[in-house]
Structure 1
Amino acid sequence: MPEITPRPIADLTTLRAGGIPRRLVEARTRDELIQTMQSVWADHEPWLVVGGGSNLLVADEPFEGTVVLVRTQGIERLASPRDGFVRLRVEAGHDWDELVSYSVAEGLAGISAMSGIPGTAGAAPIQNIGAYGQEIVQTLVEIELLDQATGELVTVPASDLGLGFRTSVLKDHYGIGAERHGVIVSITLELADVGHGELPVRGAQLRQALRLAPDAEVSLAWIRQTVLDTRRSKGMVLDDADPDTYSAGSFFQNAIVSAAFARTLPAECPRWPVAPDVPAITVIPLDTFDGIVPPPVVHESEVKVSAAWLIEHAGLSKGFRLPRSRAGLSTKHALAITNRGSATAAEIAELARFIQQRVQAEFGLILQPEPVLVGIQL
């Protein structure tokens, strides 16, 4: 195996926390990745796969197992069975933002609003990454999965991954294990071949984020640059000179609640329907029509509410820190917990627990962490 000298997981993650693993392996080809994982599973040892390390909070204690760094690279352009579309097969270790940049340069639409998200392509389906109304579920066709149960490489269609809001059957949620275990080797996306001209922007949430009128037309390059500028202003684009970017991005998920619960929150709390309201169509056969049209059945959509707003209005402003702690909220974005200088995983977890308690006390809602927590309890 391509084994290298172990170093702290803190050096491998954007939150800059985590102890030293017993063994560290760097897989640069798909064959190395497959052989390494098959060997680790055969030995029944603890394992942790790390791509960009942008969605991990790992405990300070030594990790008694093997950490596998996925460093595979490559984008393969494939034909699509649909006219006007192109498929891209991407190796798991390929940098996500480099993939977005490539797609924009090629005039391929579908992921430009996810510019600047740190991490690797293989991590994208695990929590169905998304931003400004775009999610990987909208473009993902399939993945190649090295299945832990069989040790075999299998192709899994996107429809079998249980992709939901920041979730999939592969994600190890806090308090709930993954439904299926394995390692993603590649992903395949299907993107619209729209070229480099200006086009209407689909999605109200994206238009709102970009401050565009409903009839505005812009290019993919403009969307990418505007999203990058917006994320950078919030400290959400990695920058070694900016401690606000020493984070896992949004530490807590925007909460998905019932419409009834959403009405108990202050009216000014930002919220978005999870599913669009589509008027029901009632079809009544003429031979049974008695002149009475039954009233429509109203199904209220679940609602996504802003976790950042809840945190700030629970009294925790941007830049908040607990006394003597080296962890703190970003000075630019209240949803990001940041490492302000050699903070331990324990300090980061302590702040996360405090935020959860404050929001629950104020609004009756428990925020759920978005990163994968390894050896950490909130």
Structure 2
Amino acid sequence: MLVRRNASLAELTTLRVGGPADRLVEVTTAEELVTAVRDADAAGRPLLVLGGGSNVVAPDEGWAGDVVLVRTRGLSYRCAARTVEVEVQAGESWEELVAATVADGLAGVETLSGIPGSTGATPVQNVGAYGQEVAQTITAVRVWDRAAGRQRVLRPADCGFSYRNSRLKQRPGELVVLTVTFGLFPGRRSRPVTYAELATTLGVDIGDTAPLDDVRAAVLQLRRGKGMVWDPADRDSRSAGSFFTNPVVPHTAAVEGCPSWPAGKGRVKLSAAWLVQNAGYGRGTREGRVGTSSKHSLALTTEPGATATELMAFAEKVIAGVQERFGVTLVPEPTAVSV
């Protein structure tokens, strides 16, 4: 395990904010990950487990304890009844994993192309985009239970998946993800396309399939156009992707003119991007060194020298503006780490 002192959290996150970590421990195997977590717990040091840093607002004060940087690697395949199960180490790049599964002719996560971060973070947030979410293909999550001091395997029913949420997210820090297993479908065609924007880009009808490579290329094209593919040369990608989740409200609380989608009995999901845009925080709105992306109003971006305090203050203004204008409360998607 590689141990560093006073490493910059800003350099380890896509928002590029955050102070120094007192002790940064970089692990490359699941065994090292468990050891690093156990050592921190045994010593009573505060612990922060960090993967790709793409869904984290790190504190300006830094972290006065251990930051365990997960860089575990490796995939293994096994055939199941109708799927191929792929067990993935938590530190694997999510984008590289999606690229590999598409190249191998395995469908199920192709519309999740271009999302930054590590694979171990995907079940925490129940990552989703363009009509797919990881809950649809996850078959198992192997975790380290810090309180019990042992490994456990969570099945989907144990994970409590919901829209951008899970048991892992609701009880942060209790369970450390070691591996994630996905059940993917062999073949060169995608799963049915259910997202209208993607279907239009592909030139297919809702419910149709398309070649895996075409779906991946179309998703990357759409995401780049919104500044949501990580690129150090693109200042609009200094973000956490969508900063707010699409609010789910009773259908009686739907906002006139706001795009919406069915979200279960008597409920609809509203477009957070539309709400932000129409509350006066459209694309390119800036306050100092933070603001909305010039390409997409739902992404909050930072400039060099920005702080987490500035970013969260701007986010609170957006939340207040949407609440005042439409009576809808936005919820941030990234985790704001507190010291």
TM-score for both structures, normalised by structure 1: 0.86
Partner SS for 2:39: helix
Q: 1:199 offset after TM fit, Å? A: 6.0
Contact 1:244 1:340 in 2 (8 A): no
Q: Within the alignment, does 1:246 sit opposite 2:209 as a pair?
A: no
Describe the SS at the equivalent of 1:126.
helix
Corresponding position: 1:61 with 2:61: yes
Does the CA-based 8 Å contact 1:201-1:207 persist in structure 2? no
- Note the C-alpha offset of 1:224: 0.3
Q: Secondary structure at the match of 2:102?
A: helix
1:2-41 alpha-carbon deviations (Å, 9 max, x no partner): 3123311001000000111111100011111111111111
Which among 329, 334, 338 is matched to residue 371 of structure 1?
Answer: 334
Q: Which has the higher helix share?
A: 2
CA displacement 1:329-351 (0-9 Å, x = unmatched): 10000000001222111110111
- The answer for the alignment partner of 1:348 in structure 2 is 311
Matching residue of 1:73: 73
- What is the alpha-carbon distance in structure 2 between the residues aligned to residue 62 and residue 215 of structure 1? 47
For the Cα contact (< 8 Å) 2:46–2:66, is it kept in 1? yes
Residue type at the aligned position of 1:254:
N
Q: Which residue of 2 aligns with 1:130?
A: 128
Identity of aligned residues (%): 42
Instruction: Determine which of 302, 309, 316 is the counterpart of 1:339.
Output: 302
Counterpart in 1 of 2:106? Answer: 108
Q: Quote the residue 2:150 is aligned against.
A: 152
Q: Which moved more, 1:153-162 or 1:89-98?
A: 153-162
Asked whether the equivalents of residues 113 and 134 of structure 1 are also in contact (C-alpha less than 8 Å), the reply is yes
Give, in angstroms, the shift of residue 201 of structure 1: 2.9
Which residue, 312, 320, 329 being the options, matches 1:357?
A: 320
Q: Is the 8 A contact 2:131 2:193 kept in 1?
A: no
Post-superposition shift, 1:104?
0.4
Q: Deviations over 1:109-151 (max 9, x none)?
A: 1000000000011000001000011000100001110001112
Matched, 1:26 2:18: no
Distance 2:75 2:186 in 1: 16
- The separation in 1 between residues aligned to 2:47 and 2:95, in whole angstroms, is 26
Number of aligned pairs?
338
Amino acid at match of 1:317: G
SS at match of 2:311: helix
One-letter code aligned to 1:332:
K
Shift of 1:57: 0.3
User: After the TM superposition, which residues 1-378 of structure 1 pair with which residues of structure 2 at under 5 Å, given as runs?
Assistant: 1-80=1-80, 82-83=81-82, 85-172=83-170, 178=171, 181-194=174-187, 196=188, 198=189, 201-205=192-196, 206-207=198-199, 210=202, 212-214=204-206, 216-262=208-254, 265-266=255-256, 268-275=257-264, 299-300=265-266, 302-322=267-287, 325-375=288-338
Q: Secondary structure at the match of 2:6?
A: coil
CA drift of 1:209 comes to 6.5
Instruction: Supply the AA of the counterpart residue of 1:109.
Output: A
Q: Structure 2: where are the runs of 5+ without partners?
A: none
Contact 2:283/2:294 (CA < 8 Å) preserved in 1?
yes
CA distance in structure 1 between the aligned counterparts of 2:182 and 2:238, rounded to whole angstroms:
29
Match of 1:175 in 2: none
- The one-letter amino acid paired with 1:124 is T
Structure 1's 364 and 208: CA in aligned 2 closer, same or farther, altered over 3 A?
Answer: farther
Look up the equivalent residue of 1:308 and give its one-letter code.
A
Which of 1 and 2 has greater Rg?
1
Instruction: Using structure 2 for the length normalisation, give the TM-score.
Output: 0.96
**Structure 1 residues 242 and 112: CA distance shift in structure 2, 3 A:** same
Is the alpha carbon distance of 1:215 and 1:18 closer, same or farther for their aligned partners in structure 2, counting shifts above 3 Å? Answer: closer
Q: Residues 130 and 195 of structure 2 are in contact (CA less than 8 Å); yes or no, is this contact kept in structure 1?
A: no
For residues 133 and 206 of structure 2, the distance between their equivalents in structure 1, rounded to whole angstroms, comes to: 20
From the superposition, tell whether residues 36 and 331 of structure 1 become closer, same or farther in structure 2 (CA, over 3 Å).
same
Give the direction of change, closer, same or farther, for the CA distance of 1:91–1:199 in structure 2 (3 Å limit): closer
The answer on whether the counterparts of 1:253 and 1:367 sit within 8 Å (CA) in structure 2 is yes
Amino acid at match of 1:135: E
2:276 partner amino acid:
I
Larger strand proportion of the pair: 2
Structure 1 residues 19 and 211: CA distance shift in structure 2, 3 A: farther
Q: 1:60 to 1:308 in 2, by over 3 A?
A: same
Paired with 1:109 and 1:226, the residues of 2 have a C-alpha distance of 15
Counterpart code for 2:293: S
Q: Relative to structure 1, is the Cα distance of residues 211 and 334 closer, same or farther in structure 2, using a 3 angstrom cutoff?
A: farther
Write the deviation string for residues 50-78 of structure 1: whole angstroms up to 9, x where unpaired.
11000000110131111010000011011
* Structure 1 stretches lacking a partner, 5+ long: 173-177, 276-298
Contact 2:77 2:84 in 1 (8 A): yes
Q: Give the superposition deviation at 1:217.
A: 4.4
Aligned residue type for 2:262: P
